[in-house]
Amino acid sequence: MKDWLLRAAIVLGVVLPLGVAAGQGAAAVRAKPAAVADDDANAPYKTFDTTPAITMGPLLLDMSDTSVVIEWMTDAPSDARVSYGEGTIEHEVVPQVDGLVPVGTVHRVVVRGLLPGHSYQYRVSSRRVVALKPYWPDRGQTVESPIHSFTTFDTAKQAASFAVMTDTHEDVVRIHALMNLVRRKPVDFVVHTGDSLNYGVSENQLKDKFMDPMATGLQGHMPLLYVRGNHEYRGEFARSLGDYLHSQSGKYYYTRDQGPLHLVVVDTGEDKPDATNVYAGLNNLRDYRQEEFAWLQQTFADETRTRTAPFTVVLGHDPEWGWLDGHNEAWMQLANRAKVDLFIAGHLHRLERFAPGSHGNDFPILALGQDQIAQVEASEHELKVTVVDRAGRTLDTFSIQRKSK
């Protein structure tokens, strides 16, 4: 029977299963092939014994009354998540972009839905992604930060305080010294008014010369409000800085409120007109700052806190408001009409306070030097400013009384 079946198959041109041709019988024809593991979408992916390290952060950026940006870096591509809660850690945020969890070494997570003036504990974690294959990506182990805490901004607070530094220009020793000063007298948040770099070169430069020393000084619980300086416009990496330092709105200009303070952060741009040959035609501050001016005009007109907050403080880099085709007086007039109380800047690399009326201004303008901090305390009726140097010596002090708006 077996020989007949084989001869018939040869005549008819039929290819028989190997078992039949070898004489294993018709039962072999009915046998089903073994299941292949890759056909099962729920088959386990590979996990390797490799754990990323946190190389920067966590750093709290752009705190508001209901949200905050939490940022950190790892030494290898990983995912990101933030676990947080009041009293106990019970919530989790996993970022997504168009439905995909970001994988990389820079992790930026916005935590939303918080309550004003509430304190939260939080922890960041990243799990290694060894190979980002289309199916069954290879994974590694998870690194977790210690548990930190923060308190959201709250307009109902009767008092608020913050510290300002500027023009650190990649000097890590300077940053550590200034942050040591800040920690002597705890504040709600810290402001850096720009020129953190000489010019943008790389992610490692930004991390090593600015973000990491700032994160170390802020210790995972004090938030940073960042202001862009003119030097951050320069260099091959300047066009990537927003991925690390933008506000939640994706801009370098924004507003925030804490207690009696209405804070208006402005981007004063470069310190030379666009047509200056040093920029080789690659700057368009004219259109950018016109957009910003329109935003500032609308902000002063529409945001009720401009009129109701006891004090409005502008935070910028250049005390002259920056270039706008030579029409900087328009910015000053706009601030005068909004009854701004104080403008804090840097850029000059020396301490200088411009009295009201000296530059067409109805309010004082404070330009900090490089090795100084301004300690600002606000109550419902008074705004007090003290400037100290790295040795802790008082260089200037003044107060501003609440005015009718």
Q: Which helix (H) or strand (E) holds 335?
A: helix 329-337
Question: What average pLDDT score do residues 66-90 get?
Answer: 97
Does residue 219 or residue 322 have the better pLDDT? 219
- Helix/strand/coil for 308: helix
- CA–CA–CA angle 378, 381, 384 (5° rounding): 40
Does residue 94 or residue 34 have the better pLDDT? 94
Just give the CATH number of 160-401: 3.60.21.10
Do 290 and 256 touch, CB atoms closer than 8 A? Answer: no
Min mean pLDDT across 35-49, 56-70, 164-178 is at 35-49
The domain made up of 54-151 is a member of CATH 2.60.40.10: yes
Alpha carbon separation from 288 to 75, 160, 235, 292 (Å, rounded): 35, 32, 18, 6
Whether the predicted pLDDT of 295 surpasses 50 = yes
The predicted pLDDT at position 136 comes to: 96
Q: Which helix (H) or strand (E) holds 387?
A: strand 382-389
The predicted pLDDT at position 328 comes to: 86
Whether the predicted pLDDT of 80 surpasses 70 = yes
Whether the predicted pLDDT of 230 surpasses 60 = yes
The predicted pLDDT at position 280 comes to: 97
Beta-carbon contacts of residue 326 (< 8 Å; ≥ 6 apart): 273
Residue 122 β-bridge partners: 84, 148
C-alpha–C-alpha distance, residues 299 and 190, integer Å: 23
Question: What average pLDDT score do residues 197-226 get?
Answer: 98
The predicted pLDDT at position 28 comes to: 41
Residue 131 β-bridge partners: 138
Short-list 28, 309, 350, CA closest to 166: 350
Beta-carbon contacts of residue 42 (< 8 Å; ≥ 6 apart): none
The predicted pLDDT at position 325 comes to: 67
The predicted pLDDT at position 33 comes to: 47
Span 367-392, pLDDT tens digits = 999 999 999 999 999 999 999 999 99
Do the bridges between strand 224-226 and strand 189-192 make them parallel or antiparallel, or are there none, so unpaired? parallel
Do 129 and 107 touch, CB atoms closer than 8 A? Answer: no
The predicted pLDDT at position 220 comes to: 97
Question: What average pLDDT score do residues 289-298 get?
Answer: 96
Mean pLDDT (the chain) is 92
Whether the predicted pLDDT of 110 surpasses 60 = yes
Q: Where are the domains of the chain?
A: 2-31, 54-151, 160-401
The predicted pLDDT at position 327 comes to: 78
The predicted pLDDT at position 372 comes to: 98
Span 1-15, pLDDT tens digits = 444 433 433 333 444
Span 121-163, pLDDT tens digits = 999 999 999 999 999 999 999 999 999 999 999 999 999 999 9
Token output for 81: 């998540």
Do 267 and 252 touch, CB atoms closer than 8 A? Answer: yes
C-alpha–C-alpha distance, residues 293 and 44, integer Å: 55
The predicted pLDDT at position 21 comes to: 40
Do the bridges between strand 189-192 and strand 148-151 make them parallel or antiparallel, or are there none, so unpaired? unpaired
Q: Find the helix packing angle between 285-302 and 329-337, rounded to 10°.
A: 10
Residue 193 β-bridge partners: none
Whether the predicted pLDDT of 30 surpasses 70 = no
Whether the predicted pLDDT of 49 surpasses 50 = yes
Whether the predicted pLDDT of 24 surpasses 70 = no
Question: What average pLDDT score do residues 156-175 get?
Answer: 98
